[in-house]
A and B are shown apart, each in its own frame.
Chain A
Amino acid sequence: MKTTRVRRLLSGGIAASLTLLAPAAASAHPMPGVGDFYAGMLHPLTAIEFLLPMIAISLLAGQQSREPAIAMLFTFPLSLAAGAALGVPIHLPSIVAWINLGSMAALGLLVATARPLPSSVAAGISALLGLTIGLANGAELGEQVSPWRFIPGFALAGLLLVTYGIGCVRRLRAPWMQIGFRVIGSWIAAVGVLVLSLR
């Protein structure tokens, strides 16, 4: 009994310290000591304006039935990669930043209402968000970073995040947990509305 208690205490502690230490370590931009592949994985997760809509899209995917969830699982990372590849050469139009900010409010609201979406709409939403987040991240790539390593890492991070979201929401079926996911969506939407009002 005692040892399991200590083990639980430790596992909780380690998990929390990892989440707290990771952003501090990664916020330096050229990311010294981290290869370009891992820089690609970390980059979208270190900025709140990308992280929150990505969490929202992963929860939204988890709330859908099998077919739209699978559609989102594949369209999101692919469009992230496409967006980042496009974002490297072209100059970023300002509408992209607007879509990224607006998506926080819109996707958060969708998660809060937990509406089932048709596959085409679900795939369309994740493709649009993936493209704009990809463009924004690709445009920030410096000369020294290899896009051939950065972009696969970047798309993999998106794939993992959506996989985790689908896994969590589909496995944790207790009613209060399902409400908990909707509450997270509502928090993301609230942050989105506040940030939009600043513009």
Chain B
Amino acid sequence: MKSTVLLRRARAVAWRALGVLTAVGITAAPALAHPNTGLGVGFVSGFTHPLTGLDHIMAMVAVGIWGTQLRKPAIWLLPVTFPLVMSVGGALGVRGVPLPGVEIGVAASAAVLGLMILLAARPPIWVAAVLVGAFAIFHGYAHGVELPKAAYPLAYGVGFVLSTGLLHLTGIALGLMERWPLGIKALRGVGAGISLGGALLLFGLIR
């Protein structure tokens, strides 16, 4: 009985979300046709920057999935603390503080986080936090370097924080599959894929 109610509510939410997405698709183009503001341009360049690199996408989705595997405190600790740590990395990038091996760090983060999902590893929470935090610094740095060049840096910042957060949310949504026995296996498969993709990027076998 309860599950049917939940299912119906989930379906209602999905339909509403579809409506919102459709409307965004329809209205986004006219809203951006304002060359003099720079706000739309800055926002879009910030929003799309994390989506242009496969390594970023895989790593951010992996953070969300791993968070659900780590269960209670981690599942909400990760999406709350990640943006804050990432913004510190972003500030380093804006300031031009030299940070060696950023691209390696970003690709390695996908490989390592994918491996954690594959193994369904549950280290103590502080180990997970330090690992994810170190990767967050690299990711933030890579986006922060672009920030001062943006048409409207504030809008760029909003766009890139928002799209990173939505990638986490995607990972958390995928991670909800963990409720079903088949879903647990599927998730570990996704982890294997992310880990393999990250490793290939790391060794320059794909671009």
Q: Which residues does A use to contact B, with CB under 8 Å? A: 5, 8-17, 20-21, 23-24, 27, 48-49, 52, 109, 112, 176, 179, 182-183, 186-187, 189-198
Contacts and interface: CB of A to CB of B under 8 A. Distances in A.
Interface of B: 12, 15-20, 22-24, 26-28, 30-31, 34, 37, 39, 76, 79-84, 86-88, 90-91, 94-95, 144, 147-148, 153-155, 157-158, 161-162, 165
A16 B87 contact: no
A18 B144 CA distance: 31
B20 A12 contact: yes
A186 B27 contact: no
Contact of A27 (B34, B87, B91): B34
18 contacts: A5-B15, A11-B16, A12-B16, A12-B19, A13-B20, A13-B22, A16-B23, A16-B24, A20-B31, A24-B30, A27-B39, A49-B154, A187-B165, A190-B83, A190-B157, A192-B87, A193-B84, A197-B144
Contacts of B84: 109, 112, 186, 189-190, 193
User: Among A12, A21, A196, which residue has the most Cβ atoms of chain B within 10 A?
Assistant: A12
For chain A, what secondary structure do more than half of its interface residues adopt (helix, strand, loop), or is it mixed?
helix
B27 A194 contact: no
A195 B23 contact: no
A8 B15 contact: yes
B154 A20 contact: no
B143 to A, nearest CB: 9
Given A9-B18, A191-B161, A194-B157, A20 B28 contact: yes
A8 B16 contact: yes
